[in-house]
Amino acid sequence: MMHCGLLGEKLAHSFSPQIHSLLADYEYKLYPMPIEQVGDFMKNGTWDAINVTIPYKETVIPFLDTISDEAKKIGSVNTVVRDKKGLLHGHNTDFYGFSYLVRSMGFEIAGKKCIILGSGGSCKTVRCVLESLGASEIVIISRSGENNYDNIHRHYDARIIVNTTPLGMYPNVGVSPVKLCNFTECEGVIDLIYNPALTALLIEAEKLGIKHSNGLAMLVAQAKKACEIFRGATLDDSIIETVLSRLRMQMLNIVLIGMPGCGKTTVGRILAEKLGRELCDTDEEIKKGGKTPAEIIVSQGEDAFRQKESEVVSLIGKCSEKIIATGGGVVTRRENYIPLHQNGKIVFIDRSPSLLTSEDRPLSQACGVRKLYNDRLPLYKEFADAVVVSDGSADETAEKILNALEKLI
C-alpha cells in the first residue's frame, strides 16, 4: 500500500484524509509540524507521496529534484512524489483545481476584467488560471499595494471577483473584504473559503443574484489530480462531483424551523441518530442559563428571550455537521437567518395547527395557536430551503426531510 499524506503547519480541520479515502485506497496521514522539522521530513520521511499546504508550498521547493512547468510558473508546490530511486518530483494541482471550479460554474473569463482579493500564495494560482483563460485585465487588491482597499473604487467595473483572503473564515464569520453592491457589473464571485459554506461575501452575491461558489470544488478537484499523480492513473472527472455531494451532505447543518410543538426536537433526534450527528437544540442551550424559554418570556418578556436566542443561534450557526432544532419564533428576527443559512439547509416542518398544543407555551396561549401559525407562516417560508408537511409520525417526517435534502444538494 502507498503511504501518502498532507504536510502543513496546522491540519486539525483538514478534509483531505476524507477526500482521498473516497478517491483511492492508499494510506493518507496528516503531518502537522513546525518549519524547523520540514527539511528532515522531506529528506528522510518514509512517505511515497504527499500533498503540501499552507505555509510550506514554497518551503519544500529547495528539497525537490524536479518541478513541473506549472509549479515553476506559479512558484509553489502542493504535490510531491518520491520515485523508486528516491528522487522527489514536485507538482501544482491547485491550478487544475481552480480551473475545474471556474469551468464547473460556467464562468466566461475571456475578455473580462477580474480582481483578486489578497496577494498571498493562493493569489498566484488564481492569477495563472485567469491569465490562461484570457482575462483582459487582472487586478490584485492587497492591503498596502498599488491597488488596495482605499482605492478599490477604481475597479468597481470588475466582472469577476475572487477572494483569496481568509476574511470571513470560521470562526470569524460574518465579515467580508468588500461590499459587493458597489461592483455594478459583477457577474461572478468565487470565495476560496469553504468553511462556512457561504461567507458574508457569498451571501451578498446570493442576495444580489450573482453566480457564486465557495472553494470546496477546487479542494476536491485538486485532490483528484494529486491522486492521479500519486498512482500514475487517470480518474474520470465525474468522481469530483460524487465526492463533492458526499462532503456537502456531511458538512451542511440540517436546520429545523416550525411552530412550537411541531416536532423539531423529536425529528431532530431521529435525524441525529440516522446520520450519526450531534443534535443542537437552541431552547436546551438557553436552559443552560438556569431558566426555560417559557420562564424567561413570562418573567422578562419576549424581547429578552429573543436576544438570548439570537446569541445562541449566532454561536451554533458557526458549526457544521449538526442537526439544529430551533425555537418556534426564531424566524421573527431576520438577523437569525444568516447564521442559520451560512452552513446549513433550513427545513420548515409544517404541521397543521389543529395538531399543535399550547401547553407550556406562553406565546401560543396568549395569541392562540392558529393566529400564531398564520402570523409566522410567511416568515417560515421565507427562511426555508425546503418545506416538509408533517401531519404523520416523526419517523415519516424525518424520512421526508432526508428526501428533500437529497434534491437540494
Closest CA to 42 of 92, 87, 94: 87
CA distance 312 to 152: 36
φ/ψ (deg, to 5) at 189:
-135, 130
CA distance 337 to 330: 9
CA distance 283 to 231: 50
Task: Verify cis geometry, omega within 30 degrees of 0, for the bond prior to 196.
Answer: yes
> Is 57 a residue of the active site?
yes
- Among residues 10, 29, 43, 57, the one annotated as catalytic is 57
CB 217 within 8 A of CB 19: no
- Interhelix angle for 238-251 vs 16-23, to 10°? 140
Closest CA to 285 of 315, 253, 318, 242: 315
Spatial strand order of the sheet with 344-350 comes to: 278-281, 322-325, 253-257, 344-350, 386-389
Question: Which residue is it, cell 417560515?
Answer: 380
* Sequence-distant (≥ 6) Cβ neighbours of residue 79 within 8 angstroms: 49, 50, 51, 52, 90, 91, 92, 93, 225, 226, 229, 230
Which of helix, strand or coil describes residue 371? helix
**Beta-bridge mates of residue 115:** 139, 161
- 8-state DSSP, 36: G
| Amino acid at residue number 153 | H
The burial of 309, by beta-carbon neighbours within 10 Å (0-12 exposed, 13-18 middle, 19 or more buried), is given as: buried
Degrees (nearest 5) of the Cα angle 311, 206, 103? 130
Which of helix, strand or coil describes residue 378? helix
Q: Which residues are catalytic?
A: 57
